[in-house]
Amino acid sequence: MRPTLIFLMVPFSFLVYFLLVLGMGIFQEYPVIHYLVAFVALFYLFKATREKRTAYLWVLNGLGWVLTLFFIWWTLIFSTYKQNPWPIKEQDNISARIADMALETVDGEPVVLPELLQKNPTTLLVFFRGHW
């Protein structure tokens, strides 16, 4: 029973992080506290696995590592945003800047703005701000 509770610390810490990020808008680029909770739980799971060596503990240990590595991937790679190469301030005239500007569609295909605006001058551009 005790290794199961230790294992549940891993998804519980990730769930708390997701609730903080999505529900309250608190975004941490490096959620160190959640990483520490996961690695402490993995340490104790590994210790319990070394002592008893049962298949159940090996499965819990492996699943804990998979969940932790997925969480690290999600927080460090998947949820990071690229820096804006063209910082535009409020009230800037962007007509001079769009001559060399290329954007990406949702599918990742590049779109050159001058060509797009020449084809259809009444184009509406929508910029997704992210999850906030």
Task: Give the span between the Cα atoms of 36 and 44, in whole angstroms.
Answer: 12
pLDDT, averaged across the chain: 78
What does the pLDDT read at residue 117? Answer: 77
Sequence-distant contacts of 17-21: CB under 8 A, at least 24 apart: 17/71, 17/75, 21/131
pLDDT at 132 over 60: no
User: Which residue did the predictor score with more confidence, 96 or 13?
Assistant: 13
CB atoms under 10 Å from CB of 8, counted, come to: 14
**How large is the greatest C-alpha to C-alpha distance in the chain, in angstroms?**
71
pLDDT at 127 over 80: no
User: Which residue did the predictor score with more confidence, 125 or 6?
Assistant: 6
